Structure formats: C-alpha cells, structure tokens
Amino acid sequence: MSVAAPNVPGMAFNGPAVQGTFDDLGTPLSGVTFVVVDLETTGGSAKEAAITEIGAVKVLGGEVLGEFATLVDPGMPIPPFITVLTGITQQMAVAAPGIDHVLPSFLEFARGAVLVAHNAPFDLGFLKAACAAQERPWPSPAVVDTVDLARRLLTRDEVPNCKLATLARFFRTATEPCHRALSDARATVDVLHGLLERAGAFGVDTLEELTSFARAPTPEQRRKRHLADAVPAAPGVYIFEDARGDALYIGKSGHLRTRVRSYFTASETRRGVREMIGIADRVRTIVCASTLEAEVRELRLIAAHKPRYNRRSRHPERALWLKLTAEPFPRLSIVREVRDDGGAYLGPFGSTRLAEEARAAVHDAVPLRQCTQRLTLRLISQGRAVTCALGEIGRCGAPCEGREPPEAYARHASFARTVLEGDVRPVVAATRARIQRLAAELRYEEAAAQRDRLAAFVRGAARCQRLSALSGIAQLVAARPAFDGGWELHVVRYGRLAAAGTVPPRAHPVPYVEALVATAETVRPGPGAAPRASAEEMECVLRWLDSPGVRLVEVDGTWSCPAHGAEGVRRWIDNAYRDTDSRKVDRGGRPMR
C-alpha cells in the first residue's frame, strides 16, 4: 500500500512516507544484556580502600547467561570489621590474584552489556579507580542503579528503606544477600527483574525509557517548583517547612537559588528528600555574609530544630569524651558531658566503639585501674572493694586490694593526665612495640587491630588538641579575599563564630573590622576543648582558617599545639591506611613500602 504525501505549503517531502516500528523508538528491555555486578572492599572510599571480591551475573531476557566471581588481593590489610562482615580473611585474599589480573577479565565479561549495581556510584567508583590505576580507559557503559529504580517505584509503605536486604525480602529473591559479591549480585538480579516488572506498569519498555524514568522528577517535584522562585542568589541557609511552619530539612549553599532549584529537578533522586518535597509548603532562607557563616548557621539550626529529614549533625550533644576522673584513684570513663570538675578530657569521639578503642590504647600504656566503682581509702581499708581480676595477671596494680599505695597510683594518674593533655608518645610507643611483636610472629590481622586502636586514640587526641588550641583564644579576627575583590571577615571567640561580615572592594578595612568586633556576640570561656560551640562548628572554622589567602588580623591569646602532640603521628596513621602496598608492618610498627 502506498500513501500519498499531503500537499502542505512550506513543507517538502523527499520520498515516500514510511511508518516507523516500535524498535525505532528505543532498545527493548527484552533484548538488553545486563551484567549485574557487586563488589566487596576494604572500606568505603575508592581513594583509601581496595577491592577484595568481584561477583557478576550476565542476564538476557530473564535468563542467566553466565557468572563471574573471584576474590581479589587488595594489596592492603583487611580491617577486622570487614572480615566479620564478609567472612573474607587476609589469608583468603593473599592467595587471590591482584586487581591488575582480575580487571581485564571482568571488563571482557561485561563488554557490550549494561552494567547494573545496587548503589552503582559505590561499585563504579572502585572499578573506575582500578582502571585509572592501570591506565586503562573506562568503557563508559550504560548504567542502571537499582537503588534509583526502587526509590522511584516503591513507596515507604511497601519498604522502609532501599537496602539490598530489604528489597530482597520484599521481592522474595532466590538468593539471600550476605555481603559476598556473587550472592549479592544474584539477589540484585531478582530485585532488578522485580523492579522491571513494576516499571512495565508505567509504560517503561525500553532501555532509554528505563534510564530516564529512574531519574525523572516526581509529580510533587514538578508541582512545587514555584517554591524556589523567590530564593535569592546569595550564600546562606535554606529551610524547607511544612504547613505548620515546622522545619523538615535544613541545608546551606554558596548560591541559594541554584541549590534550592535543584531539589525540583531530575538530579535529586534521594528518596527521603523526594518525600520531603511532597510535604514541604514553603522554603525559608537566611542570607549570610559568607559560606562559613552559612555552614555554622546550618549546624546550629539543625541542632536546635532536629529536622526529621536531616541525617547528620542533629545531636551534637551525643558526642562522647574520654575522661580521667577526678577522684582519689582516677580511672578512664566514657562520658557525654564536659564539666569543670578537675578531670582531664580527650575527644570528642563519634561513636562508642572509637572511644573504647582509644581507652584501650591508653590502658595498654598506663596501668590505670579498669573497674567502674568509685574507690576510696575507707572502702579499701574496710575490704569492701571488688576483687581485681586484672591484678592477678599483672595488668593492674590492684589499688582496690591495697596492693598499690595511693602515692604509686597517683604517679600513674599523673602520667595518664599528661598523655590526655598533649604528650601522646607513651601510647604510641607502647602500641608500636606491640605491633612489632605481632608482626614478628606473623599475626598481621592482630597487628592491624592494634593499629586501629592506635588510630582511634591518635585521631581523637589530634582533634582534641586542634579544638583546644582554638577554644583557648579569647578573640581571633581573620580575613580572606572575596571573589568580588573585597574581603570576608570573621570574629571567633573561644572557638565560637561570634560575627561575620564583608569589606567592599577598594574600601579601607579597619573601620569594618572595628565595627564587626564591636557588634560581635559576647562569649565566655568554659571547660574542655569545645566549651562554647560544637566540635563540628569549630572544625568548620578551622577549615576556613586553613584555606588559601586567609590572613590573621588579630589574635588575643596563644594559638599552638603541644610539641609532642598527635598531629605528626596522625599523618603516619593516615598514610598507613592509604598505603596500598602495606599488607605487613615492619619491626618499628610502620607500614612496609
């Protein structure tokens, strides 16, 4: 059958009309080869960790075409908690081929296919880093992220989150994910098929439709784009509020209008944020003088309002400190509050595990008692103290039993106070000696555990010393060149940002500095390393002070760190974790290169 072209003015037809097929509209999903991949690694960052296992399944039209699975020698120690999580030990990994041998085989297995992963940026980040290390070009395949699809296709009523284990239970996968690469890849295949079936109900039949559908803005996002219309183009803080005026989400940006508008586009795929957009009724903004002021205001507002869609910084009061108690026989205790009670403090720590590891490192160097009872001379003389088990094995002087006099124990307590207040050398020396002994006995996993314990102490001490140095300054005024040719000004008192302002281009800065200092918030000194601001706020200030171009205008006090402090050792610790060739440690407890 031939069809004559209509005679339309201004429109020319150069041949007979041809009706296109549905195949011309895209690649049918039934004809797409997917390679579902999962990795196990030594950590969460491709810059500091390495691959320990690769598992992949190739599927076409719902049928499995092949599987790829191998352990990989990461070229670095496997942390104990990774071994507990995955079951992959150092001995297993050492016997496996390196990534330089495994990567070409995997790329050949996946050639021409669409890569699928659960939380694809994580897995692809490691694969891209491996290609870069070998100077191989990344093939840039099409990618499907099952997390993005699940966020688009499943409701909160169906699944509470989009973790692989949760989706596996929802879709009743044949394989249960268990943090091993091939098993998790097999589970992801079943999850993918379940999601593709759901997507079909939305008319998604081609690969092109699938990739665009996963990142398409929701109807709520499109409907509420007008909320960003009145947002200014300036640095500051934005607050999404519901109809009652309660804060739902608080963020900061150097350009408020651009950032807020991004929440109503396809680039915003976070499930919780998309849900928040559906509830939000307005966006309130607070314009700030600088990006530092915006950072600090964001932290303070999150801590004050605790918005339900903010995950971080909601509870700065939950920070943990390691405290040398002020009592006749001091001990190390983990506390949440710093008091002006004569105790010595170290921290803050982000988790109980890190605080406990730091405490264990100090106990290995200083023979303090580890019992929790409040010990007094009267209690000891009456024989009512708990029997010391550590004293029986020589790890405690057993003052509770009267075997160690108060004068001798006081020397240990004084030694511990010196360690907590700045001199980390005794703890570092004791731990390195232990690492040396374990390395000589080829007990590398235990040596790595000792390194982790030392790292918790050193990083906690370095953080405490940096914060203490800043909080000890009554007033610090600093300036940084602004993009418009003027200056950013900040006044910091006892570690707290007390004022922020700007100096216009070509204006004399002295009157502006004097006016900012005169109107700055009054701040009183207090106990501990972070007496008048949260540790996060003080670290924002410290990062700004370390940024290029910052000039100190006034410093009322001494800004310094201890001569034998933790900063230098922290660099060694960080290098030990970054060293991709350090499966062992040398006789000095240092990573071998």
Catalytic residues: 179
Q: How far apart are CA 523 and CA 473, in angstroms?
A: 11
Give the span between the Cα atoms of 166 and 555, in whole angstroms: 54
Query: Which of 533, 535, 536, 546 has its CA nearest to residue 493?
Result: 533
- Beta-bridge partners for 35: 58, 115
505 contacts: CB under 8 Å, gap ≥ 6: 484, 485, 486
For residue 483, the one-letter residue type is: F
Contacts (Cβ under 8 Å, ≥6 apart) of 573: 451, 454, 455, 458, 459
Percent helix, strand, coil in the chain (nearest 5)?
40, 15, 40
d(CA 567, CA 467): 12
The CA distance from 12 to 3, in Å, is 15
CB-CB neighbours of 60 under 10 Å? 13
Distance CA 240, CA 309 (A): 10
Q: Residue 69 corresponds to which tokens in the numbers above? A: 């699975």
Altogether, the residues listed in the chain come to a count of 593
Neighbours of 42 (CB within 10 A): 23
- Edge-to-edge strand list for the sheet holding 63-71: 63-71, 51-60, 33-41, 114-117, 143-145
Distance between CA atoms of 104 and 96, rounded to whole angstroms?
A: 15
- C-alpha separations of 485 from 183, 489, 491, 503, 510 in Å: 57, 13, 20, 9, 16
- Cα 187 to Cα 177: distance, rounded to the nearest angstrom: 6
Stretch (H or E) spanning 150: helix 146-153
- Sheet architecture: strand order including 487-493: 496-503, 487-493, 475-481, 551-556
Cβ-in-10-Å burial (0-12, 13-18, 19+) of 69 comes to: middle
177-204: string of b/e by CB count within 10 Å (b at 16+)? bebbbbbbbbbbbbbbebbbebbeeeeb
Q: Which of 353, 400, 337, 289 is nearest to 526 (CA)?
A: 337
- H helix or E strand, kind and range, residue 484: none
